[in-house]
Amino acid sequence: MIIINSVSEMQRWSQEQKAAGKTIAFVPTMGFLHAGHHSLLVEGRNRGDLLVLSIFVNPAQFGVGEDLDVYPRDLCADTQLAAEAGVNVIFAPTVASMYPRGYTTWVDVEGITDILCGASRPGHFRGVTTVVSKLFNIIQPDVALFGCKDFQQLAVIRRMVLDLNMLVEIIGMPIVREADGLALSSRNSYLSPEERRQALSLSASLALARRLAAEGLRDSAAIIARVRDLISMNPATRIDYLQICHQFSLQVQAQIDADSVLLLAVFIGKTRLIDNSLLLG
Ligand code: AMP
């Protein structure tokens, strides 16, 4: 495994591999890797001749007052996990090399970026789609893997790839959870033991919604009301959004069906966590 920091060196490596007929699988991350990232890498290993992992805490996707400065980093542990997962290249560029002086070009997917996380975090998805476009141009992957944990992000990336005729296959991977249900996230490291306990209300509320759906409840507002009550029982939680949407269009649904997904974002103290689940799938 090699670590490449230079954009031009990464581009040269990819060009050489493609010229030699190799396919490249790519997993973009912000590092501080956990079992969720690992599952993407394991699948990526099977999907291409070569596996590239990027680690880049992308300032463009953080808003003012968000956690850019304190976002957890551990390149040493990440390197070990990546090597064990069979990564060929870690691409870890600097901010200055990705956004050099004079940088002014942005990729903006309209519509589905205005709702849910896009409404709470203005400019977030523009930062995501811009950096992912740049990474695709640099690494030239045949296939790229993303987690369903960031459900809206996956939908936005699929839209961008379709709209901009990008020649990369997008794979969505299931959410990896702790044994007690908490979805793995680098941001879980911000939680105190008590907050960690309260954070279980996210996965518990998804389980409740799935149970209500299985029992025949179809009214989204009624399901959301029950979920809201459950989460609000914990004093340190603040709901950012709770929505039931169609899994592909992300249109809000008044009645649930086999394509309904419950998406939520909740602050536990200062930490904003997201989670989601299909309701009948
Ligand atoms: P991040 O480092 O948070 O930007 O995440 C990098 C990739 O890993 C994204 O595609 C995420 O959706 C994915 N990911 C993060 N957490 C999980 C998880 N618990 N299960 C599956 N994929 C995840």
Q: Compute, in angstroms, the gap from residue 98 CA to the centroid of ligand 1.
A: 21
pLDDT tens figures, 189-242:
999 999 999 999 999 999 999 999 999 999 999 999 999 999 999 988 999 999
Which domains are assigned to the chain?
Answer: 2-173 (3.40.50.620), 186-278 (3.30.1300.10)
Whole-number pLDDT of residue 174: 98
Question: In this structure, what token pair is assigned to residue 36?
Answer: 């969720």
Distance CA 280, CA 259 (A): 8
Q: Is 152 in the pocket of ligand 1 (CB under 6 A)?
A: no
Catalytic residue numbers?
37
CB 141 within 8 A of CB 52: yes
Facing residues of 51 across strands?
Answer: 25
Distance CA 35, CA 174 (A): 12
Distance CA 199, CA 182 (A): 7
Q: Compute, in angstroms, the gap from residue 104 CA to the centroid of ligand 1.
A: 28
Q: Is 184 in the pocket of ligand 1 (CB under 6 A)?
A: yes
pLDDT tens figures, 89-117:
999 999 999 999 999 999 999 999 999 99
Q: Is 132 in the pocket of ligand 1 (CB under 6 A)?
A: no
- The residues, ordered by sequence, that sit 6+ positions from 109 with a Cβ below 8 Å of its Cβ are 125, 129, 156, 159, 160, 163
Distance CA 242, CA 73 (A): 30
The ligand 1 atom nearest the CA atom of 27:
7
Facing residues of 27 across strands?
Answer: 53
Question: In this structure, what token pair is assigned to residue 94?
Answer: 């600097």
Compute the mean pLDDT over every residue in the chain, rounded to the nearest whole number.
Answer: 98
- Average of pLDDT values for 250-279? 98
- Is pLDDT of 32 > 90? yes
Query: In terms of DSSP bridges, do strands 260-268 and 237-246 run parallel, antiparallel, or are they unpaired?
Result: antiparallel
Distance CA 206, CA 274 (A): 11
Whole-number pLDDT of residue 216: 98
pLDDT band at residue 281 under the 50/70/90 scheme? confident
Whole-number pLDDT of residue 274: 98
Q: Compute, in angstroms, the gap from residue 217 CA to the centroid of ligand 1.
A: 31
DSSP state letter for 80: H
Q: Which CA distances in Å does 188 have to 7, 159, 200, 220?
A: 30, 29, 11, 29
Whole-number pLDDT of residue 264: 98
Q: Which CA distances in Å does 272 have to 35, 120, 217, 242, 264?
A: 20, 11, 29, 13, 10
Whole-number pLDDT of residue 235: 87
The ligand 1 atom nearest the CA atom of 33:
2
pLDDT tens figures, 143-196:
999 999 999 999 999 999 999 999 999 999 999 999 999 999 999 999 999 999
The ligand 1 atom nearest the CA atom of 176:
20
Q: Is 53 in the pocket of ligand 1 (CB under 6 A)?
A: no
Percent pLDDT > 90 in the chain is: 99
- Is pLDDT of 275 > 90? yes
Distance CA 79, CA 91 (A): 11
CB atoms within 10 A of CB 221: 9
Q: Is 124 in the pocket of ligand 1 (CB under 6 A)?
A: no
Q: Is the pTM of this model over 0.85?
A: yes
Q: Compute, in angstroms, the gap from residue 150 CA to the centroid of ligand 1.
A: 7
